[in-house]
Structure 1
């Protein structure tokens, strides 16, 4: 283990430095930390291509990513979510499922295959960059895997930031009360941080409701990844060496276990807060490492059709949740 740690340390260290720099810039210049980590990682991509840092960067981009996703489970509490009411819970969960199926269906019109459709639709439907990284971890890998992930993270982060600015204005123009506005913001904006920012920019009550609704979408991560894993296992041929995707990825088991423990109030709040912070830092380090493993030219070659698909999925979930609010409230 000591020799293994010695090999991995340089790459993990530079990934952490990039993540810490991104966090500093995010706090001082009001920019999304995930996006900053990705862009800074791309700027020093040579560290993921050659030298002593390569093994640690690869470890950060894969293993630390999965650990970070597993720890997201401490954010989920079924007892708290139940306070929102059954109709709005079904609206939020239904919006997640409908957006994923819509993305898989509409992708053909943009010339995109199912891997990219599932990645973008899942990230838009659930929780932005975190969902993208979780789904990417179960998708069959090919030469374009990392480019698709980077493009998706960049795209949903930018769209989420735009939504954070525009959606509160839209909610105000429609004269939504704090419940309606909270459901709209929490049910449509991609990333958790932007949901919180948008909600509390209206009022404290709206912010609380938006965060609650967003947690419903986060709680959908485990079942979506599980179903996707089963689909991939059933439909994709095993590689030449005979290995198949795992029936239930370990990080999904960890997510479910932590969510169950938190729902049963078996995790003290101080521990839950600590694990949630660890999850955020692990994901930040992982996305910095993904950036270091990327080739910007290949990322940009994804093209306008991919951008169109991501925007279409974003508009779809916004319209669906908006219609549901108008019908149910």
Structure 2
């Protein structure tokens, strides 16, 4: 009896040891993210519009490259869990920040601006990134997604679907940080000096339709007027909602591309080295995102509960960004060189010039 117990207990003990190490890594990321959250709350930091997500990936990258050896290697699984599975859950709960009623208030104009920016930035941006700047498709798509939809959260969602390497996401997030932060100062200045002539509605459409992060949109628009801030926030959240259909299209496209690659390999022709077997799988976190938008729209949860869940969700996203930073290496980022930076700059120029053009057209034609 004792022998049987000992025999059956050995695998159990091994399983517990393996998961204990994973839990240690996960808790380490949680403590790291808690410190990041406290830093982000410092007035001097929060005043710059730097969200915990952005500070999290920056701090994670510094740790991962400076003192990563201090973290036991066995904790890596827990860090990876935070950077992959936790982020899917966090992206889904991001839907509690949006309601269909808010989206309806900006009407056809807001939807037209958001949809145009998202589609053109993703399609043209990916083409320019691969053909002009010679980036690989994943780097181009991640950077374009961050500019087109909702900054770091979009990069994380695309990274999860593409199953790309962490350093590629770090490069994409870097452009979000740089140009999104610049927008907080540049956009209000363009309005004040009269370089851009937009009324309150137009200002909200332009800011919400082209600035990267939600926090950056609020920071920039609040320097203009409360009315512009309200409109800009709703337009921005309309762009966020477009994450769902875009991810569904991306999943189908990836599956078809991989099917073609496998067919080419079977025919004896050369297939790309990154060809993998992938089935058309609906990203569950995208559907969860949409479902929670519905929950929020129907007011199925008390306001206090929604506020608490949003706070926890921000913390979960901060953990995911921190873990992503820890897994990133400077050597990998350096491989992209200045091409990635200039690609991000080209997308930024498009967002300003193209965004203004789309805003003017939407206001005069719709």
TM-score (norm 2): 0.83
1:224 is matched with which residue? 246
Corresponding position: 1:166 with 2:163: no
**Structure 1 residues 245 and 193: alpha-carbon distance in aligned structure 2, compared to 1, 3 A threshold:** farther
Worse-superposed segment, 159-168 or 290-299: 290-299
Q: Is the 8 A contact 1:47 1:54 kept in 2?
A: no
> 1:25 is matched with which residue: 39, 44, 52?
39
**Structure 1 residues 5 and 273: alpha-carbon distance in aligned structure 2, compared to 1, 3 A threshold:** farther
> 2:330 is matched with which residue: 296, 302, 309?
296
> 1:41 is matched with which residue: 35, 40, 60?
60
Find the aligned partners of 1:95 and 1:75 in 2 and give their Cα distance.
Answer: 21
Find the aligned partners of 1:284 and 1:162 in 2 and give their Cα distance.
Answer: 22
Find the aligned partners of 1:246 and 1:257 in 2 and give their Cα distance.
Answer: 20
Segments of 4+ moved more than 6 angstroms: 238-242
Find the aligned partners of 1:300 and 1:49 in 2 and give their Cα distance.
Answer: 24
Find the aligned partners of 1:313 and 1:269 in 2 and give their Cα distance.
Answer: 37
Mapping 1:50-89, distance limit 5 Å:
50-89=72-111
Structure 2 gaps of 5+ residues are: 1-11, 263-272
How far did 1:190 drift?
0.3
Find the aligned partners of 1:242 and 1:146 in 2 and give their Cα distance.
Answer: 18
Find the aligned partners of 1:201 and 1:87 in 2 and give their Cα distance.
Answer: 23
Find the aligned partners of 1:109 and 1:16 in 2 and give their Cα distance.
Answer: 40
Aligned residues: 326
Corresponding position: 1:128 with 2:147: no
Mapping 1:1-329, distance limit 5 Å:
3=16, 5-28=19-42, 29-30=44-45, 31=48, 32=50, 33-45=52-64, 46=68, 50-107=72-129, 108-141=131-164, 145-172=165-192, 173=194, 174-237=196-259, 243-329=277-363
Find the aligned partners of 2:22 and 2:316 in 1 and give their Cα distance.
Answer: 15
Structure 1 gaps of 5+ residues are: none
Find the aligned partners of 2:71 and 2:353 in 1 and give their Cα distance.
Answer: 42
Q: Is the 8 A contact 1:138 1:245 kept in 2?
A: no
Report the secondary structure of 2:282's partner residue: coil
Find the aligned partners of 2:57 and 2:274 in 1 and give their Cα distance.
Answer: 33
Q: Is the 8 A contact 1:92 1:321 kept in 2?
A: no
How far did 1:42 drift?
1.7
How far did 1:231 drift?
0.4
Q: Is the 8 A contact 2:84 2:320 kept in 1?
A: yes
TM-score (norm 1): 0.92
Q: Is the 8 A contact 2:133 2:343 kept in 1?
A: yes
> Structure 1, residues 98-119: CA drift from partner, whole Å, max 9, x if none?
1111112212111112212211
How far did 1:13 drift?
1.7
How far did 1:234 drift?
1.1
Aligned-CA RMSD value: 2.3
